[in-house]
Structure 1
């Protein structure tokens, strides 16, 4: 068994098609088919129901694909560990913008316990501008904040990018955005925050003026108000999905996507700069593990009683 075969299996599970998987992996269809036949022989199980067109994963095939995600993730971590010349060590003061701390901080700290055992972190949360100011002042070594509009004395390393989306109450699922603007309050996440400025710029660029505006300083509060039908809003897609799940309706912004960039900010040329990339790699690993876990959950077979 080789990792390439497992990568192909995971791709098929995600794409639902041998043909699309072959195209994405830059392989011939016959090579993909042969890989899967060899994998079935090695494992001694039937991964695909070939009586169906196109062939479909069997319940056991879905289970193997879900397990393969974890194997590939572990392999990637091992390769990264073997190529690093040194690891992060020391005491560090790290800031997190509140909306990122809920989703990124747990995975980061869990990853650091394994990959950076000699590093110790003091963490605080706040708004992007406040945290960036503390990095400039030297009271924080680095901070995870919304990119853009940061002091020029700071260097940044992008960690992830998230699309902003409209979130509407289910009762307004068939409303146009223009109707929402004129008929219900727009719940605006604080305009002085990084997210708030992105939202304000989008509304201005799209020439959209809500009839009524409610300003709130919490993603959870915004989400609950939308869920309750109080109004509609714009938020990063991962935040609204985490807070409201399927209880709200999401729509892309009208003209072009607006992305919120989460960055690691630190003083350019400062004492922490040599550790910045090591710290960023911990975030990369934590985000990759979370993504792998999400993909694995999506592939879990319906029949959990298969032996």
Structure 2
């Protein structure tokens, strides 16, 4: 048995087929098949049910995948856990919810790279629920996401910032009452599969506001563009990092009891990469303090 074979086994589980797993681990289809056959022969067990067109993991195979994840994680964390400062070198995968990718994430990573130049950061994308599952399963090391209503006990949540939600409206509309606008204008809904979408829906229900839904989108930039075109109004998080807003859009407060979304960094409790994870958290806190992207640079003095 080798770590490589275990990685391939996990890839087959995560990607569904030998072909997809081959692409994920950068080997040929035949290499995947040979590795899986070798595992079965070494332990004299049936990992795959090959009676079907696409081989499927048996219950024993699924149990082996779970153990394989633990072994791979221990193997990957071995050197960083020993070297300490050496953890600030190498590679780490950081995923994030889509609404953070145009301000907070690029600024936070640029600060992290400045402080840890030998650290390579791979960036992923996903919604909060999916990212939490990937972290729990060991498929992902860290993620920036909305604080979940129920936090799994085996995860560490480090809060970064709280963003109030606000109403985005076209500047072609003169009305300033957010409730009146929500009731009279088409509503561009934030994706309800996202935690933010759930927060918005609960607030609308608490306010007894029935909206005329026109569309449901996920990307904050896409929603803002639709509002700028005067195709409706929308409730979105106020970005903690100021970016250049598109013309034609203004924002209105939802009042003193406006809902909020809390962004955080989530990792596993047993992660041996705690040093680099703490550096990531510090970098994103610093990004919030900077508050603007791209950062405003002070002009250099010109010598006389």
Q: TM-score range by the shorter chain?
A: 0.5 to 0.7
Q: Deviations over 1:111-144 (max 9, x none)?
A: 2222112322111112122212111111111000
Corresponding residue number in structure 1 for 2:149: 149
Distance in 2 of aligned mates of 1:135 and 1:278 = 18
Corresponding residue number in structure 2 for 1:163: 164
Q: Which runs of 5+ in 1 are unaligned?
A: 1-84, 301-306
Distance in 1 of aligned mates of 2:177 and 2:285 = 38
Structure 1 residue 181 displacement after superposition: 2.9
252-261 or 164-173, which moves further after superposition? 252-261
Alignment of 1:103-182 (within 5 A): 103-149=103-149, 151-152=151-152, 153-182=154-183
Corresponding residue number in structure 1 for 2:8: none
Q: Which runs of 5+ in 2 are unaligned?
A: 1-83
Corresponding residue number in structure 2 for 1:233: 234
Corresponding residue number in structure 2 for 1:214: 215
Measured at CA, do residues 210 and 281 of structure 1 come closer, stay the same or move farther in structure 2, by a change above 3 Å?
same
Corresponding residue number in structure 2 for 1:188: 189
Distance in 2 of aligned mates of 1:240 and 1:208 = 29
Measured at CA, do residues 293 and 225 of structure 1 come closer, stay the same or move farther in structure 2, by a change above 3 Å?
closer
Structure 1 residue 217 displacement after superposition: 1.8
Distance in 1 of aligned mates of 2:241 and 2:184 = 22
Distance in 2 of aligned mates of 1:167 and 1:235 = 7
Number of residue pairs matched by the alignment: 217
Measured at CA, do residues 241 and 110 of structure 1 come closer, stay the same or move farther in structure 2, by a change above 3 Å?
closer
Measured at CA, do residues 157 and 108 of structure 1 come closer, stay the same or move farther in structure 2, by a change above 3 Å?
same
188-197 or 235-244, which moves further after superposition? 235-244
Corresponding residue number in structure 1 for 2:92: 92
Contact 1:165 1:250 in 2 (8 A): yes
Q: Within the alignment, does 1:281 sit opposite 2:282 as a pair?
A: yes
159-168 or 146-155, which moves further after superposition? 146-155
Measured at CA, do residues 202 and 255 of structure 1 come closer, stay the same or move farther in structure 2, by a change above 3 Å?
farther
Contact 1:187 1:214 in 2 (8 A): yes
State the Cα RMSD in Å.
Answer: 3.0
Corresponding residue number in structure 2 for 1:200: 201
TM-score when normalising by structure 2: 0.62
Q: Deviations over 1:46-97 (max 9, x none)?
A: xxxxxxxxxxxxxxxxxxxxxxxxxxxxxxxxxxxxxxx9573332111111
Which has the larger share of helix? 1
3-state DSSP of counterpart to 1:212:
strand
